[in-house]
Amino acid sequence: MTTATTADENTKAPGSGLAVFGEFDPDGRQAYQNAVARFREKNIVLPTFAQLRDPSTIPESIVAALSDVEKDAPDARNLFRVHWFNEHADDPNGGNTPGFVDVPDHIELPSELTGVEARIVLAFGNRFPMIRAHKVLAAYSTLVARLVTGRFDPTANRAIWPSTGNYARGGIAISRIMNCRGVAVLPEGMSRERFEWLDRWIEHPDDVIRTYGTESNVKEIYDECNRLAQNPENVILNQFSEFSNHLGHYAVTGPSLETVYRHVTADRPGRLAAFVSASGSAGTLGAGDYLKNSQGAKIVAVEALQVPTMLYNGFGEHNIQGIGDKHIPLIHNVTNTDLVVAISDRSTDELDVLFNTPAGKRLLGERGVDRSIADQLIDMGYSSICNTLAAITAAKRWNLGPDDVIVSVATDGSELYNSEREKVMSTHFAGGFDDAEAAAVFAEHLENVSTTHAMEMGDIERDRVFNLGYFTWVEQQGVSVPDFDVRRDQAWWEGLRPLIETWDTMINQFNADTGCRLDRPT
């Protein structure tokens, strides 16, 4: 069994690309001291992964300090909201300074909508602070792992956040509230709302770098990061290769979804049959590893049908924003994946219109979908709809019934895609979107969800998909073959898990060294 310590030692070898940090950097003492001094000056306290997993363990003094902090404000106290247990910000009793809830906000989609008997439940990612998407958790996970191990100096380093959308926004938010400089690197063709948010949050105009292309142009992002890495002041926090991204979701998202599962089965027992997530950086799929270990759930990885990399070794372009592709992320635990599903961006585009128009809501009502459920569909963006369709596909593929539960995440809300919806309307519904169009969209994309583009992952297929990563990580990005290949073994991934407690110990020590408290003014 390869231990986390061995993996960490591998990161110090020339050419290695495994960003696993289990030990303090022996050359990082000054960076650590500078970070302590900066955080002491700004009165910044870091939450542990244990606290984000279970916010009821956050001290009352810190919870009280949040009572006058807007959830979306650039305030370091909002680090203690980087979890799934935030009250809905638009709740009439919560305003925009929400408290915590006992069970993450979620939606259980009725069979009138899904067309299957299996119970499909999604946790709402837009309850997260600042960016209203769960990728802010990935950003915190990657930066804090470097910070407490002496690998990031907020007084000297710039945090580079390569992304196809939400992770870059999360990185900018985390950088700003941690009082360091962040740089977003993302394709120029991403939604207008993403760039408008970045313009509001950045302090230097050149801290948003627009690379060529759209969702599928991940290599161009890497090329820009390789250029930026030539400056030693730049620290590349690549969500596709930082294992703290995987571990953050294993430690926080997995147990949070388990809480949701236990809640929905408290008065109606059922087994947790599967966890579904679009691949993207594959960080969220780490929650599936937790749920497989804890509940025996199968793991379903999802990609765009227009770019079926895992399914057919394919390539192309698509518009399911947030799930960059044409490569296999280094942090994807491929050999633990059970099913791969491809979903068309035409389906996500048109269902977004259905869920957010009067005609669509009328149609849903006619089909028996309760209005309270229909109104919550606004909280589901493109990748959320993608996850839903993949869950329906899995339910059909495996003939799941009413005693089977599938859990997933609604990554972000539809408000990030208003401009994209305008494009879809002008392109596909130039004559308007009324009752007939709504019925046609429902029939094509919900009533007739196909299982054609779904593949069971046996040993042969797992090895094939795993091997696809060679071309990105070994040939292009310089990861050594031994470092690349060691990830094939589940024992190696299990060896990573103790890092979560290691980082929590380091976070507590860091907080002790700063001496900061949130019961005094920031």
Residue 10 has a pLDDT of 37
Strands 158-162 and 181-187: parallel
Which stretch of 11-20, 172-181, 419-428 has the lowest confidence by average pLDDT? 11-20
Residue 254 has a pLDDT of 98
Instruction: Report the predicted TM-score, pTM, of the whole model to 2 decimal places.
Output: 0.94
Question: What is the secondary structure of 125-189 as a DSSP string?
Answer: GGGSSSSSBTHHHHHHHHHHHHHTTT---TTT-EEEEE-SSHHHHHHHHHHHHTTSEEEEEEETT
Give the whole-number percent of the chain exceeding pLDDT 90: 81
Indicate the length of the chain as a whole number.
522
Name residue, tokens 């596709």.
240
Residue 218 has a pLDDT of 80
pLDDT in tens, 365-405: 999 999 999 999 999 999 999 999 999 999 999 999 999 99
pLDDT in tens, 485-512: 999 999 999 999 999 999 999 999 999 9
The yes-or-no verdict on residue 8 having pLDDT over 60 is no
pLDDT in tens, 472-488: 999 999 999 999 999 99
Question: What is the secondary structure of 45-94 as a DSSP string?
Answer: -PPPHHHHH-GGGS-HHHHHHTTTS-TTSS-GGGGGG-SS-BPPTT-TTT
- Quick one: average pLDDT of 70-92? 89
Alpha helices in 271-407 (DSSP H): 285-295, 309-312, 345-355, 358-366, 371-376, 382-397
d(CA 488, CA 258): 26
Residue 92 has a pLDDT of 47
Residue 317 has a pLDDT of 80
Mean pLDDT of the chain: 92
- Quick one: average pLDDT of 403-423? 93
Q: In order of start, what are the domains of the chain with their CATH numbers? A: 106-127+245-456 (3.40.50.1100)
Name residue, tokens 């969800």.
449
Nearest to 392 by CA among 440, 439, 327, 341: 341
3-state secondary structure of 343: strand
Nearest to 81 by CA among 237, 65, 162: 65
The yes-or-no verdict on residue 121 having pLDDT over 90 is yes
The yes-or-no verdict on residue 283 having pLDDT over 80 is yes
Give the whole-number percent of the chain exceeding pLDDT 70: 93
pLDDT in tens, 200-257: 999 888 999 999 886 667 888 889 999 999 999 999 999 999 999 999 999 999 999 9
Which stretch of 140-144, 208-212, 297-301 has the lowest confidence by average pLDDT? 208-212
Strands 298-304 and 271-278: parallel
Residue 193 has a pLDDT of 86
The yes-or-no verdict on residue 16 having pLDDT over 60 is no
Question: What separation in angstroms does the CA of 333 have from each of 279, 287, 341, 470, 500?
Answer: 11, 11, 16, 14, 17
The yes-or-no verdict on residue 333 having pLDDT over 70 is yes
Residue 222 has a pLDDT of 87
Give backbone dihedrals phi and psi of 420, rounded to 5 degrees, phi first. Answer: -65, -35
The yes-or-no verdict on residue 4 having pLDDT over 50 is no
Which stretch of 131-145, 219-233, 316-330, 402-416 has the lowest confidence by average pLDDT? 316-330
3-state secondary structure of 463: helix
The yes-or-no verdict on residue 408 having pLDDT over 80 is yes
Instruction: Categorize the per-residue pLDDT at 14 as very low, low, confident or very high, splitting at 50, 70 and 90.
Output: very low
Residue 324 has a pLDDT of 57
Burial 300-319 (b: 16+ CB within 10 A, else e): bbbbbbbbbbbbeebeebbb
The yes-or-no verdict on residue 522 having pLDDT over 70 is no
Residue 90 has a pLDDT of 65
d(CA 179, CA 185): 19
d(CA 100, CA 87): 5
d(CA 345, CA 109): 20
Which residues lie closer than 8 Å to 258 by C-beta, 6 or more apart?
A: 272, 290, 291, 294, 295
